[in-house]
Every structure is written in C-alpha cells, then in structure tokens.
C-alpha cells in the first residue's frame, strides 16, 4: 500500500537578535567589521543552515587546515542571537569550514581565533537566512527536494512567489515543480534522498501520472534497475518496467536476491553448531554449496578477529568499538550506536546511544556492580539490539522518520551469525553472569 502522507512542515521560532558588540566583547573577540573570535565562543544550530552537514567534507577541510592553516580570507558568516538573555554568535554561512576547524583543533591543531563577519541585527530574519543559504550554496547546488523544503518554509513565512523568484533567480515553473515534489508522498522523498531516483525523474513522473501512480512506477523502475545490477533507476528503467502489467512480469530471482540466499546458506554452513543438524540437512547444504566453492566468502568460516582486552579510564569508562546505524538525512549523523568493550577474555559489555525524533539517550561503556557480561561479541550485540528495540517504543523515538532504517539495521545485527558461539555455550544455554 502506498504512503499517502506528506511531509509535515515544522516552523522554527522567530529569531530574537542580539547586540553584536556585546556578544563579541563577551566572547573575547576583536576588530570591527571583520571580527576574530575564539572558536569555542561561536555557536551552531543546524536549523540555520539549508544543507545537512556532510561529515566527509568536514574531514577533508580539517585535513586541509592542518596542512595549510585556516584561510583567513574566508570568514564565517554569522549573526547574533539572544539566548536566555545572553548575546551569542551563531554561524550560518561556512558551517563546513567551522566544523572543519573544530575537528582540526580536536586533533591538536591550534587556532586561537576564527575570522567572521556578523550581519546587522536589522537584516537578520529567518527568510533572509534561507535566501542566503540557498544563494551561497550555488557552487554546490541544492537538490530540487532540498530547494522545495526551503520554498515551502519561505511561503509559510509570508514570502510571495514573485519575491522568491527574484531573490533566488528562479522561475515560476521551478517553484511549481518544487512544490509538486514537496507535496508528494513521503515514500517518494525517501527514494530521492536515498538516490534511488533523481528529483527530476520523480517530478516528471508525478506531473505525468499523479503522486500515487508515480510512486508505483518509480518502485517498479528501481526493481528493474536492481535486476540489471544498477543502484539508481533511470527513465528507461521506469518506462520498461511499466510497459507491461506487473502481474505479467516474469517471476525470477534477481542477482541481489541470489546473493542473499547464497550468503544465508553459507552462514548455515559455517555456524559452529552446523554438525548438530540432521544428516540429511548437512548433506543438502554441502551438495548445494560444493559447486560454488569459488564464490564463497572465506571470511565467514573464520572466528572474529580477537579484540584486545579493553581498559577503563580514571572514570571507569572502557575503550570500545562502535557499531553505527545508517546516517540520518538532515545532520548526516548516525541516530543509533552500539558500543562494545571486551573486559576479560570471555566477557563483553555494551552501551547504547540514541539521537532521533524528540529524544536522546546515551550511556557510557562502563561496567557497574552486578552488571551483566556476555560470553561473545555476538551475544553482547544481540543484547544491545534488544535494549535499543525496547527504547524505540518510547514516544520520544517512535515517530522519528529514521525509525524504519534503524529497525532494519537492528534486525540485520540480531540475525547475523556468531562465529564465536561454541557447542559448550549452546549446551549450557549460557546467560550473562
């Protein structure tokens, strides 16, 4: 059943501007038109930026800063916001340079002050921030879906289409196309964000067939593309897949499904308790996989590489590895994480982090008195999956748009084979001690 819902519009609160000189003085800054301020006194709110933060771009900029120094010819664009009666400087232009500088500093590079230009208070409005954000991203153009989100907010702020066209140098047709996409089902937005189809193709299909039929056609096109080994559907895939009724399409297992079945069967073969299965099942698995020996993934037959024993710091927090869920759409960060520490040869502990919807939940990887420990890394992962699954039922998390992808990630982790599981553990039905 297709999803008929459309994306809800969430308006940010009006900006209460502050006193520039007071904010710079309080932050220990100097200069006049071009200010220089210690990085730790510059604030950031992702809602002030039209593009989600790109972690890879931040990493690249940090490396360039460490190699060449911060380019002072490129000041940050900022404004002063009144927060709790305090004047604070917020960056809205140059967010990647700002975060790149912070990353470089965290890795030992010294930057005493960052150059910035602060907008006059009278010019600071939510609409002007959006206009500036779209224009200043011209070298790396926003996608039609990203532009659509900004146009919808500008209209909600009372901006007329004529004004939007003039200030962004776009046409009425561009606005109509963007709104067509903005009002499409969430499922189409998801396909665009996942880059399974382009915004342009989605708009074409919506205009020609309506939103519901367009979603169906796009989904068929994606399946057709996957069957040929392609990750993104083109107009050719969509037209070909929609030429005949779906019921008449040949029912064949595609390459992706074949690989999944092979991996599942291989996991059975390499499970430590494979020898406990019935002789007929063992024979059937061997008979199916023997001709495919060259295609099998040898890594599944090995035990996991032993992680060194982790040690706690002065606060009792262990060094650990982190398994992160797929990144969220807006901020480019993982909404869920599992942290694992090996505290003895045969004992593992975990902690979890959640940041999605209206809630945040995080705990240190720390062993408390009486806390459960797990005999294998896989057992600790499954316990963490169960804990996160329970937490996601809380109202603060249960309506987050990232929830389906997080659940898929958790299901995959829970069903993964545990190469460290032994017959002895199975026979004793080992539980945390």
**Assigned domain for 364 exists:** yes
Q: Do the beta carbons of residue 38 and residue 76 sit within 8 Å?
A: no
What count of other Cβ atoms lies within 10 Å of the Cβ of residue 326? 14
Whole-angstrom distance, CA of residue 55 vs CA of residue 333: 8
The answer to the question of residue 48 being in a domain is yes
Nearest residue to 344 via CA among 318, 323, 364, 313: 318
Cβ-Cβ contacts under 8 Å for 240 (sequence gap 6 or more): 221, 224
Is residue 341 assigned to a domain? yes
Residues 59 and 154 in one domain: no
Dist CA 421 CA 273 (whole Å): 8
Residue 143 · residue 199 · CB < 8 Å: yes
Residue 199 CA, distance from chain mean position: 19
At 360, which helix (H) or strand (E)? strand 359-362
- Cβ 414 vs Cβ 374: under 8 Å: no
In sequence order, the 6+-apart residues with CB closer than 8 A to the CB of 29 are: 35, 36, 37, 38, 41, 113
- One domain, residues 28 and 97: yes
What predicted TM-score, i.e. pTM, was given to this entire model? 0.39
In-domain check, residue 251: no
The reply to whether 311 falls in a domain is no
d(CA 344, CA 352): 20
Q: Hey, what are 264's tokens?
A: 């599942």
Query: Does an H or E element contain 115, and which?
Result: strand 114-118
**Burial level of 23, CB count in 10 A (0-12/13-18/19+)?**
buried
Same domain, 360 and 418: yes
**Nearest-angstrom CA–CA distance, 170 and 319:** 52
Q: Are residues 394 and 328 in the same domain?
A: yes
Q: Is the dihedral of CA 365, 366, 367, 371 positive or negative?
A: negative
Q: What is the pLDDT of residue 275?
A: 63
Looking up tokens 């539980």 gives: 431
Helix 199-209 to helix 172-182 angle (10° resolution) is 80
pLDDT of residue 430: 38
Tokens of 148: 């659509």
Residue 361 φ/ψ, nearest 5 degrees: -140, 125
Q: Which of 78, 104, 123 is the last residue of a domain?
A: 123
In the listed set 80, 103, 123, which residue is the last one of a domain according to the structure?
Answer: 123
Nearest to 46 by CA among 12, 18, 23: 12
**pLDDT the model gives residue 330:** 55
Q: Mean pLDDT per 10-residue run, the chain (433 residues)?
A: 52 68 76 81 84 84 88 88 88 89 92 89 79 64 78 80 82 84 84 86 87 88 86 86 57 67 70 67 70 56 64 87 80 84 90 83 80 84 89 79 84 78 60 41
Residues in the chain: 433
Give the pLDDT of residue 296.
Answer: 56
In this structure, the answer to whether residues 392 and 348 fall within a common structural domain is yes
> Cβ neighbours of residue 207 under 8 Å, at least 6 residues apart?
177, 180
Q: Could you list the residue range(s) of the whole structural domain that residue 274 is in? A: 263-301
Does residue 316 sit within a domain? no
Q: From CA 102, how far away is CA 52, in angstroms rounded?
A: 17
In a domain, 13, yes or no: no
Stated as kind and residue range, the H or E segment containing 309 is none
Q: Are residue 138 and residue 51 in the same domain, yes or no?
A: no
150 and 234 both lie in a single domain: yes
Last residue of a domain, one of 99, 123, 147: 123
The whole-number pLDDT of residue 342 equals 92
| Per-residue pLDDT, 41 | 92
The Cβ of residue 330 has, within 10 Å, a number of other Cβ atoms equal to 16
Q: How many domains is the chain partitioned into structurally?
A: 4
Q: What is the CATH number of the domain that holds 72?
A: 3.90.1530.10
Clarify whether residues 395 and 344 are in a common domain: yes
What is the C-alpha separation between 264 and 270, in angstroms, rounded?
10
What is the per-residue pLDDT for 412?
A: 83
Residue 332 lies in a domain: yes
How far is Cα 172 from Cα 156, in angstroms, rounded to an integer?
A: 17
**Judgement on whether residues 98 and 191 belong to the same structural domain of the protein:** no
């Amino acid at each position: 059943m297709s999803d008929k819902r459309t994306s809800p519009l969430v308006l940010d609160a009006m900006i209460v501007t502050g006193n520039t000189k007071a904010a710079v003085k309080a932050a220990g800054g100097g200069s006049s038109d071009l200010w220089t301020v210690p990085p730790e006194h510059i604030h950031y709110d992702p809602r002030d930026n039209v593009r989600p933060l790109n972690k890879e771009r931040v990493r690249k900029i940090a490396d360039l800063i460490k190699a060449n120094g911060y380019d002072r010819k490129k000041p940050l664009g900022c404004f002063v916001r009144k927060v709790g009666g305090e004047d604070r400087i917020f960056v809205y232009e140059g967010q990647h340079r700002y975060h790149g500088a912070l990353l470089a500093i965290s890795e030992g590079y010294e930057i005493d002050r960052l150059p910035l230009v602060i907008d006059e208070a009278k010019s600071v409005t939510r609409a002007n921030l959006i206009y500036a954000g779209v224009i200043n991203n011209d070298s790396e153009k926003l996608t039609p879906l990203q532009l659509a989100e900004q146009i919808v907010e500008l209209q909600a702020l009372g901006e007329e289409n004529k004004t939007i066209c003039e200030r962004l140098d776009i046409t009425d047709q561009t606005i109509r196309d963007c709104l067509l996409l903005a009002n499409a089902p969430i499922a189409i937005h998801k396909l665009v964000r996942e880059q399974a189809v382009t915004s342009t193709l989605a708009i074409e299909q919506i205009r020609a067939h309506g939103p519901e039929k367009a979603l169906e056609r796009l989904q068929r096109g994606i399946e057709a593309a996957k069957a040929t080994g392609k990750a993104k559907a083109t107009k050719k895939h969509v037209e070909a897949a929609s030429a005949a009724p779906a019921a008449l399409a040949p029912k064949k297992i595609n390459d992706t499904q074949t690989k999944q079945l092979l991996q599942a069967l291989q996991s059975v073969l390499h499970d430590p308790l494979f020898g406990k299965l019935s002789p007929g099942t063992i024979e059937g698995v061997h008979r199916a996989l023997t001709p495919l020996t060259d295609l099998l993934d040898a890594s599944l037959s090995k035990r996991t590489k032993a992680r060194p024993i982790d040690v706690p710091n002065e606060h009792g927090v262990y060094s650990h590895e982190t398994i992160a869920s797929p990144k969220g759409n807006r901020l480019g960060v993982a909404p869920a994480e599992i942290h694992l520490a090996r505290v003895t040869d045969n004992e593992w502990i975990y902690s979890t982090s959640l940041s999605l919807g209206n809630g945040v939940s995080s705990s240190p990887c720390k062993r408390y008195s009486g806390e459960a420990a797990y005999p294998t890394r896989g057992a600790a992962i499954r316990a963490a999956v169960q804990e996160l699954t329970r937490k996601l039922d809380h109202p603060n998390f249960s309506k987050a748009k990232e929830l389906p992808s997080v659940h898929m990630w958790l299901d995959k982790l829970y069903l993964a084979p545990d190469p460290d599981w032994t017959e002895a553990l199975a026979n004793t039905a080992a539980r945390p001690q």
